[in-house]
């Protein structure tokens, strides 16, 4: 299976060199695409220079676009356009362990058990977990996932995580032009559209570890926007639009 690992970045120069090195070691046949929002800390420039000596690394530096959602979509579109069998998305900050990448790819490639189109690295399925979060953040995350499952009818336990692997053939069925999410609610919205496109889902457990370097991009304003987007899609789900 030909896999493109796409990582959306903004100010991750402390993490990205080590992440690229680890991925090259763990999944040497996979290609890595960094979609960088013109990070002022030099993340994109480091990737550009590294890609000159690393045949499995490429970078897109976006000058006029911003946002996690649109950066993730760009990675998905590149996987389709470049003829990959699968796209895999993960964070740059090691909250998604590189060691778990083969498990996601293997589950997607395995047609013997039950063929699926979307594999989610899951904190909330049996065997998964979270390390380094205070109780308040744990409760908020659980609440958001319950909210998404109930309102939007999503068939998975971890709806908000960014650690995922998808067949490009299911991505081709999704119209990304109609997406409303620009930030973290993109991940719930994607599942909603994938479900409507007939996707089959599976979850692979992993332990989420809070970032070691850099700062989180999530804030109160972004959280409020995310809940609003999910509410709109939830109404559509219940009214069968």
**Does the structure show a pLDDT above 60 at 31?**
yes
Cα distance between residue 162 and residue 188, in whole Å = 10
Half-sphere exposure for 146 (CA within 13 Å, toward CB): 6
Alpha-carbon distances, residue 41 vs 10, 63, 99 (angstroms): 8, 14, 27
Are 12 and 43 within 8 A, CB to CB? yes
Structurally, the chain folds into a number of domains equal to 1
Once rounded to an integer, what is the mean pLDDT over residues 63-92?
95
Report whether 153 contacts 239 (CB < 8 A): no
Q: Residue 167 maps to which CATH number? A: 3.90.550.10
Task: Indicate the pairing of strand 86-89 with strand 118-122.
Answer: unpaired
In this prediction, residue 35 carries a pLDDT of 98
Higher confidence at residue 132 or residue 42? 42
Buried b (16+ CB within 10 A) or exposed e, 18-49: ebbeebeeebeebbbbbbbbebeeebbebbbe
Distance CA 8, CA 188 (A): 17
At 144, the pLDDT band (50, 70, 90 cuts) reads: confident
Print the domain residue range for 182: 3-239
| Pairing outcome for strands 118-122 and 201-205 | parallel
Report the pLDDT value the prediction gives residue 147, as an integer from 0 to 100.
79
Residue range 56-75: mean pLDDT, rounded: 94
Neighbours of 58 (CB within 10 A): 18
Q: Is residue 233 within a helix (H) or strand (E), and if so which, with residue range?
A: helix 220-239
Mean pLDDT computed over every residue of the chain: 89
Residues 6+ apart with CB under 8 A from 144: 159, 160, 226, 227
- Decide which of 23 and 152 is more confident: 23
């Amino acid at each position: 299976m030909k896999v493109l690992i796409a990582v959306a970045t903004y100010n991750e120069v402390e993490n990205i060199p080590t992440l690229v090195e680890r991925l090259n070691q763990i999944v040497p046949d996979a290609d890595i695409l960094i979609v960088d929002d013109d990070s002022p800390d030099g993340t994109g420039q480091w990737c550009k220079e590294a890609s000159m000596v690393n045949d499995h690394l490429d970078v897109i530096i976006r000058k006029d676009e911003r946002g996690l959602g649109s950066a993730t979509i760009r990675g998905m579109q590149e996987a389709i356009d470049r003829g990959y069998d699968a796209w895999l998305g993960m964070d740059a900050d090691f909250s998604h362990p590189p060691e778990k990448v083969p498990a996601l790819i293997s589950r997607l490639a395995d047609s013997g058990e039950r063929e699926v189109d979307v594999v989610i690295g899951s904190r909330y399925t049996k065997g998964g977990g979270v390390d380094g979060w205070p109780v308040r953040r744990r409760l908020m995350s659980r609440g958001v996932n319950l909210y998404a499952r109930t309102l939007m009818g999503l068939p998975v336990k971890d709806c908000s995580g960014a650690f995922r692997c998808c067949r490009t053939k299911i991505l081709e069925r999704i119209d990304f032009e109609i997406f409303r999410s620009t930030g973290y609610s993109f991940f719930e919205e994607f599942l909603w559209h994938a479900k409507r496109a007939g996707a089959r889902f599976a979850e692979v457990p992993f332990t989420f570890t809070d970032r070691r370097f850099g700062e989180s991009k999530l804030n109160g304003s972004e959280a409020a926007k995310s809940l609003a987007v999910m509410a709109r899609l939830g109404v559509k789900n219940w009214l069968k639009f």
